[in-house]
Amino acid sequence: ILNVEQSPQSLHVQEGDSTNFTCSFPSSNFYALHWYRWETAKSPEALFVMTLNGDEKKKGRISATLNTKEGYSYLYIKGSQPEDSATYLCALPPGGNTGKLIFGQGTTLQVKP
């Protein structure tokens, strides 16, 4: 069973703060890592798919890095805005089975104006 851990579980920041959170996974048998953003009452929306050690991806004020050797990925949000409030999920396919995608519990971010 693939264990995908996300920390912290929740985070409260002020508007304008930069923040980051972590997705941890077993470093053996890595294939790919997905990041999703999930706003309340909406559906999850894909942010990034990362496959290579050292990968860095960026979308606006959100960026992510990947370290497959030590088994973690960081998601950064620069200058948080209230509209960034959401749950951020990471997910991995176990053993390269790309049909399956096992999700972490998510980090819920609240940005106060």
Partner 1 sequence: NAGVTQTPKFRVLKTGQSMTLLCAQDMNHEYMYWYRQDPGMGLRLIHYSVGEGTTAKGEVPDGYNVSRLKKQNFLLGLESAAPSQTSVYFCASSKPDSPRYFGPGTRLLVL
Residues within the interface to partner 1 (CB under 8 A): 32, 34, 36, 42-46, 49, 89, 91, 98-106
* Nearer to partner 1 among residue 17 and residue 24 (C-beta): 24
State the nearest-atom distance from the C-beta of 101 to partner 1, in Å. Answer: 7
We find the least distance from the C-beta atom of residue 22 to partner 1, in angstroms, to be 16
**SS3 category, 83:** helix
Residue 23 near residue 32 (C-beta atoms within 8 A): no
Query: Least distance from C-beta 17 to partner 1, angstroms?
Result: 26
89 or 111, CB closer to partner 1? Answer: 89
Helix (H, G, I), strand (E, B) or coil at 95: helix
Strand-pair category, 45-50 with 56-59: unpaired
Q: Give CA–CA dist 63/85, Å, rounded.
A: 16
